[in-house]
Amino acid sequence: MKEAYKETTRYGMVIDLDKCTGCGTCMVACMAENNISFKEDETNKLDSITWMRVYKITNGRPYPNTEICYIPRPCMHCEGSHGHPAPCVSVCPATATDQDPKTGIVSQIYTRCFGCRYCMAACPYHARYFNWWDPVWPGEMEKYLNPDVSPRMRGVVEKCSFCHHRLQRAKNKAYLEGRREIREDEYIPACAQACPANAITFGDLNNPEHKVYKLKKSPYAFRLLERLGTNPKVYYLSRKGWVRRAADN
């Protein structure tokens, strides 16, 4: 008997901040996997593009009581609350960003975007980036671009997609094998796959058999800026009370 199609899939991730070392491997993997353009001089971060960005916070205490925590921040793929969609979805006049009801993933359709940047203003996580220039790839690098991800043109907004092309690849594989659902290990974003500390866990937040389902129920689990009611699908773990308190600020 074939598996019944499950309509309530909610893809998300849990990031263990007590494991994260701030190495930046997730950022590099994300840029390579998704053809994220970069400039010759990346010192000005105001116009840099980083779908996955690692922030550093401290407890504000002097040495030797100083503690540091690194926070990887992808797109939160918010669901919104009280009948309202994610902030970026509700403000987009071109319907260039939308939420897939079958996966929970918030998409970004570059060919619809005309660069008004309303979504950037609405996103409280600063997870969206505007392309100020057309991407320029060194000649020796063009053959290394991922053919599954289209490069973006100047004048549009882009963001983390949870490596949606990997989901499509996993679906195609499952279809060829006569399955309606994909297994947990068949769809993993580049950042989670590359993390050397195994700090990032990805899966279906609604599936009791997936690791993220169990991890999100930990008493040490929290989400960033929960008071805003954005209902993000990225959870964090930390046993440090000061880290959890800082998450709402």
Reported confidence tier of residue 118, pLDDT bands at 50, 70, 90: very high
Tens digits of per-residue pLDDT, 140-160? 777 789 999 999 999 999 999
- The owner of tokens 């679906």 is 171
Q: Write down the pLDDT at residue 136.
A: 81
Tens digits of per-residue pLDDT, 50-100? 999 999 999 999 999 999 999 999 999 999 887 788 999 999 999 999 999
Bridge partner list, 99: 106
Report the mean per-residue pLDDT for the chain.
92
114-124 average pLDDT score: 96
Residue 211: in which H helix or E strand, if any? helix 211-215
61: tokens are: 């205490």
Evaluate whether residue 4 is within a structural domain.
Answer: no
Q: Write down the pLDDT at residue 1.
A: 37
CA-to-CA dists, residue 199 to 23, 32, 115, 143, 229, angstroms: 11, 20, 34, 31, 25
Q: Write down the pLDDT at residue 106.
A: 96
Tens digits of per-residue pLDDT, 2-59? 444 355 899 999 999 999 999 999 999 999 999 998 887 778 777 889 999 999 999 9
Evaluate whether residue 74 is within a structural domain.
Answer: yes
Evaluate whether residue 129 is within a structural domain.
Answer: yes
Evaluate whether residue 236 is within a structural domain.
Answer: yes
Does pLDDT of 180 surpass 80? yes
Percentage with pLDDT > 90 across the chain: 81
Evaluate whether residue 2 is within a structural domain.
Answer: no
Q: Write down the pLDDT at residue 81.
A: 83
Cα–chain center distance at 86: 14
Evaluate whether residue 6 is within a structural domain.
Answer: no
Q: Write down the pLDDT at residue 2.
A: 42
237: domain CATH number is: 3.30.70.20
> CA 94 to CA 120: how far, in whole Å?
14
Cβ(22)–Cβ(56) below 8 Å: yes
Q: Total domain count for the chain?
A: 1
Evaluate whether residue 3 is within a structural domain.
Answer: no
Evaluate whether residue 15 is within a structural domain.
Answer: yes
Cα–chain center distance at 131: 18
Domain holding 87, by residue range, is: 11-246
